[in-house]
A and B are shown apart, each in its own frame.
Chain A
Amino acid sequence: EDQVTQSPEALRLQEGESSSLNCSYTVSGLRGLFWYRQDPGKGPEFLFTLYSAGEEKEKERLKATLTKKESFLHITAPKPEDSATYLCAVRETSGSRLTFGEGTQLTVNP
């Protein structure tokens, strides 16, 4: 059974204070690891897909990396508008479904 664990559950940063969110996963074969951003009361917004260990993707202040057991979402010099819940999900090679972690709630204070 696929498992996805995100840490920390909540993270509070000052504006400009860089940090990383962690996503640990267990799958029989990884077809893709996905990062989403979710604002309160909204649907998740797609950020990145990573397919193989060593892969990296960047978008503005966000950078996602992948190893064989975990993924990190690095946030460089965050701004208050980066405050949201960040969700990680995996899709295994034999399936059509995504399995989600419980998310990290990020708050960036001005």
Chain B
Amino acid sequence: DGGITQSPKYLFRKEGQNVTLSCEQNLNHDAMYWYRQDPGQGLRLIYYSQIVNDFQKGDIAEGYSVSREKKESFPLTVTSAQKNPTAFYLCASRDSQGRNTIYFGEGSWLTVV
């Protein structure tokens, strides 16, 4: 099955620890994205990558880091510098051919305890 896989679904982190969220896609999409969603709110862009070995900051990049070493993978690290990391994190990828639609994974819940 083609799609976007995020893992883990649920993650608990102690304050002061870094944590990495995985995002893998087998859709052969060039562009990938990370969004953050807080309860009852819309999606805010953290980072995006249009091609391997290149990425750009979104609107709320502070306290986060990414890498794009392979076309299929776009991991997000939530660092201890992120003040309020508890949120729902969504990874997405874009079909740059044809319809240019952005498709989402199922999300990862991060809770800081």
How many contacts A-B (CB < 8 Å)? 58
Top 10 closest pairs, chain A to chain B, by CB: A43-B104, A102-B42, A100-B42, A100-B43, A43-B106, A44-B104, A43-B107, A43-B105, A96-B50, A43-B90
A102 to B40, CA, bound (A): 8
A21 at the interface (CB under 8 A from B): no
Among B35, B48, B105, contact of A96 (Cβ-Cβ < 8 Å): B48
Residues of A within 8 A of B35 (CB): 100
* Known interface pairs A49-B101, A98-B33; 7 further A-B residue pairs with C-beta atoms within 8 A, sorted by A's residue number: A32-B100, A46-B101, A49-B99, A49-B100, A97-B45, A98-B102, A101-B42
A91 to B94, CA, bound (A): 12
Residues of A within 8 A of B41 (CB): 102-103
A59 at the interface (CB under 8 A from B): no
Q: Which residues from 66 to 113 on chain B have a C-beta closer than 8 Å to any C-beta of chain A? A: 88, 90, 92, 94, 99-107, 109
A41 and B48 within 8 A (CB):
no
A39 to B4, CA, bound (A): 17
CB-nearest residue of chain B to A9:
B40
Residues of B within 8 A of A46 (CB): 101-104
Among A4, A34, A105, contact of B102 (Cβ-Cβ < 8 Å): A34
A97 and B33 within 8 A (CB):
yes
CB distance from A96 to the nearest CB of B (A): 5
Interface centre among A89, A91, A98 (most CB of B within 10 A): A98
B21 at the interface (CB under 8 A from A): no
Residues of A within 8 A of B92 (CB): 43
B58 at the interface (CB under 8 A from A): yes
Known: A43-B90, A44-B90, A87-B43. A97 touches B105 (CB 8 A): no
Known: A31-B100, A103-B42. A97 touches B58 (CB 8 A): yes
A41 to B31, CA, bound (A): 24
